[in-house]
Chains A and B, each alone.
Chain A
């Protein structure tokens, strides 16, 4: 689910259990696995989102296959969402304690996979 709404509404939104909430921008959320949500913004744009592809990676996969292609400092904070070029492809990383979700627009998916080998 993709939601664009006022930052205040997103700050206080309630998501169904198990949802991974990625705050792409102050007014923009990509909610993975969301079946329901409560949001105090009647003009919010809420749509199904099929435009991303992603892959869960263990820490060792992240460090071996992805980190060598990142030219910016990778935060040590967990959990964290970081966004930028990975191997020259606009990408996002959702970092949890022992795994990470590598995401990019589906239109970039094959290029990213090719570049990461």
Chain B
């Protein structure tokens, strides 16, 4: 036979014959594709796995040899090195490797094209069902079955995700490997492997066969049972025990061929419990277990020997699943294909009960992370209409609440001062926005919110908490009244999705006559804030800006806007809600008209400091899952004299209970401590900091934090420094700047 080329194994070229797998080519060269142990050439064991063209744990017996293919044997002990470990900059993205995914549907998937599988296919086709046949010999390796059911297969072209109604597992049976002293030497083959090697013209040298001999392979069949195998690295002799148990017989040889029996190849069936899966043919057979092992390697993948199993048994791990976990037998490359029959036999030998095989979990074969992730998408993050404007202004974009948002534009302190002293723009398009309209709108919102709604005049708005039935804060925002029966509700960016569902659920539950429309992604919003904000808006078409908590519809820079006067920064602020397709136009016009006022955009980093000086909470950052208005010091936002609202009865009940948790303000000199820092009192931790900011204006650190101590102490310790406990806001406590 002529060689079509050579592969490179551990840096050395090895010739192969057309049709050889990598493993066969290596064996043909007189070597072992791994570091010893029985070779099955059926993809069942892990004794031939190696790194092939940069991918570790590849079964070389299933990999066709081709010219130039580079193989590195795994280390004899331990795992192959991770390539990423040599990468200096772990933050740099790895080379993209796109694995195509083919998605298929079928009435029936049959796994295995042997006699049983072929019969299943024929039967289904006769019944008029669509059938997909998957067989490893055709290069389609099924690696997992998931609920659905979904069958995941690796193909030459990529990955297949198949959604059948039913699955037939017809994967046949695997040959047993020997467990005895010397079973990790080179020169051991199962009977079928020997048949393959002989058929491919590989010289096995002086060969002996134990058990069922291979068909057509020149060898000496030895009577009796396998006792041990001897040699230095390679097989030199095999020792058998006479059938009558009379004595040991030692036979010199180069190769030992083992026909020791079979075990159902049912790993896929064992990962599909509760799914519409049937197992047929040999995969469904109960083969006799081998004799309980007494010595030698049981699990070659994990290097577990009989002594290891005995050790975990003595420590009290006596169920199969526990023996597996305690010893790691069955957790390696072959997922128990080799060791499971022997571990079951080990337990049966000691307990007189044959345990059922252990559960299998995907993946049954080693696949790369790229293959596992094929067809899986990252969570999608939304971009506001101003995304490119922020990037052009040098913003560092980051992900917050499901959106890409500007964290800063290079200098968050300068952005802070632009808000406090001049005028600044903030992109608040991400805020949740709902329209609620209908004859029952007022009643609906009265029931939904703890604040009063009926007395909000048209053209006015009110800050409101959103509580759950437990009286715990789940979101906050504004109630903006547009008409007798029409309102706009705003919510936090991160809470908008949940809030929409919450509003719709209650509308449906109460069967009130209201319509709800989500405008969160249809309307952009720009916050114009700072003491010069009014002056800027006057320049661009809003001569009489609304007063605090008022709102108007007006054109700003020619763009139709819903202008809401409120404040999160503590300064005069106008939120301009407008159609997303006009957002860039509005942003650029505002920036141009405000240039001589020193206008600058501000990012979230500055905003978090600005609002903290005002003591405004951020839901989810300063609140916990059980934060009530009382704990937050926001009982002013709750009207307990209303007949009912979501959370009212819980608040009424808990108001009678003692409670020692409070969100408080904290101030101290120096830098801002890390958010989450513990709050100490008398050498006890009595709370933690939820937000912190080194205030440029106040010249120290301002914080919000949770205290679990009543009465609230005047002084505590944070970050090794004394901090005074105060009632926020820290800045402009009478709100004169926001109302200016």
- Shortest Cβ distance from A30 into chain B, in angstroms? 10
A108 at the interface (CB under 8 A from B): yes
A65 at the interface (CB under 8 A from B): no
| B-chain residues with CB within 8 Å of residue A6 when the two chains form the complex | 515
- Shortest Cβ distance from A45 into chain B, in angstroms? 5
CB within 8 Å for A43 and B515 given contacts A106-B521, A111-B380: yes
Mark contacts of B364-378 with chain A using CB atoms, 8 A cut-off: 1 yes-contact digit, 0 otherwise: 000000000001111
**Per DSSP, are chain A's interface residues mostly helix, strand or loop, or mixed?**
mixed
**Per DSSP, are chain B's interface residues mostly helix, strand or loop, or mixed?**
mixed
Q: B516–A4 contact, CB under 8 A?
A: yes
Q: How far is the CA of A71 from the CA of B379 in the complex (A)?
A: 16
| A-chain residues with CB within 8 Å of residue B378 when the two chains form the complex | 88
Which of A14-22, A46-54, A56-64, A92-100 lies at the interface with chain B?
A46-54
Q: How far is the CA of A108 from the CA of B377 in the complex (A)?
A: 14
B385 at the interface (CB under 8 A from A): yes
| B-chain residues with CB within 8 Å of residue A73 when the two chains form the complex | 105
Q: How far is the CA of A43 from the CA of B487 in the complex (A)?
A: 12
B652 at the interface (CB under 8 A from A): no
Picked from A27, A47, A88, the residue with its CB within 8 Å of the CB of B380 is A88
CB within 8 Å for A89 and B522 given contacts A28-B517, A43-B513: no
Please report which residues of chain A, range 67-87, place their CB below 8 angstroms from some CB of chain B when the two chains form the complex. Answer: 68, 70-71, 73, 85, 87
| A-chain residues with CB within 8 Å of residue B522 when the two chains form the complex | 2, 47, 49-51
- Shortest Cβ distance from B438 into chain A, in angstroms? 5
Q: A45–B515 contact, CB under 8 A?
A: yes
Q: How far is the CA of A68 from the CA of B377 in the complex (A)?
A: 13
Q: Which of A4, A68, A107, A115 has the most CB of B within 10 A?
A: A107
Q: How far is the CA of A5 from the CA of B439 in the complex (A)?
A: 12
Q: How far is the CA of A108 from the CA of B380 in the complex (A)?
A: 8
How big is the A interface, by class?
A: 20 to 34
- Shortest Cβ distance from A67 into chain B, in angstroms? 9
Q: How far is the CA of A6 from the CA of B514 in the complex (A)?
A: 9
Picked from B379, B439, B523, the residue with its CB within 8 Å of the CB of A51 is B523
Interface size on B, residues (CB 8 A): 35
A105 at the interface (CB under 8 A from B): yes
Q: A111–B515 contact, CB under 8 A?
A: no
| A-chain residues with CB within 8 Å of residue B161 when the two chains form the complex | 71
Q: B437–A43 contact, CB under 8 A?
A: yes
Q: How far is the CA of A45 from the CA of B441 in the complex (A)?
A: 12
Q: B515–A44 contact, CB under 8 A?
A: yes
CB within 8 Å for A107 and B516 given contacts A45-B437, A88-B378: no
Q: A89–B515 contact, CB under 8 A?
A: no
Q: B485–A89 contact, CB under 8 A?
A: no
Q: Which residue of B has the minimal Cβ distance to A28?
A: B517
Q: B579–A50 contact, CB under 8 A?
A: yes
Q: Which residue of A has the minimal Cβ distance to B430?
A: A107
Q: A43–B439 contact, CB under 8 A?
A: yes
Q: A51–B377 contact, CB under 8 A?
A: no
Q: How far is the CA of A109 from the CA of B403 in the complex (A)?
A: 13
Q: A111–B383 contact, CB under 8 A?
A: yes
- Shortest Cβ distance from A66 into chain B, in angstroms? 13
Q: A5–B515 contact, CB under 8 A?
A: yes
Q: How far is the CA of A89 from the CA of B517 in the complex (A)?
A: 21
Q: A107–B517 contact, CB under 8 A?
A: no
Q: B513–A51 contact, CB under 8 A?
A: no
Q: B377–A115 contact, CB under 8 A?
A: yes
Q: How far is the CA of A108 from the CA of B383 in the complex (A)?
A: 7
- Shortest Cβ distance from A95 into chain B, in angstroms? 18
CB within 8 Å for A43 and B105 given contacts A4-B517, A51-B580, A111-B383: no
| B-chain residues with CB within 8 Å of residue A70 when the two chains form the complex | 103
Q: How far is the CA of A109 from the CA of B379 in the complex (A)?
A: 14
Q: How far is the CA of A50 from the CA of B381 in the complex (A)?
A: 19
Q: How far is the CA of A50 from the CA of B582 in the complex (A)?
A: 9
Picked from A5, A88, A108, the residue with its CB within 8 Å of the CB of B382 is A108
Q: A107–B383 contact, CB under 8 A?
A: yes
Q: Which residue of B has the minimal Cβ distance to A87?
A: B377
Q: Which residue of A has the minimal Cβ distance to B560?
A: A48
Q: How far is the CA of A108 from the CA of B580 in the complex (A)?
A: 13
Q: B515–A4 contact, CB under 8 A?
A: yes
Interface CB pairs A-B, < 8 A, 6 = A2-B522, A6-B515, A51-B523, A88-B380, A90-B380, A111-B382
Residues of A within 8 A of B (CB): 2, 4-6, 27-28, 43-45, 47-51, 68, 70-71, 73, 85, 87-90, 105-111, 115
The 5 closest A-B pairs by CB, nearest first: A88-B377, A51-B522, A107-B382, A50-B579, A50-B581
Besides A50-B580, A88-B377, A111-B382, 8 new A-B residue pairs in contact (Cβ under 8 A), listed by A number: A4-B516, A28-B517, A43-B485, A47-B522, A50-B522, A51-B521, A89-B380, A107-B580
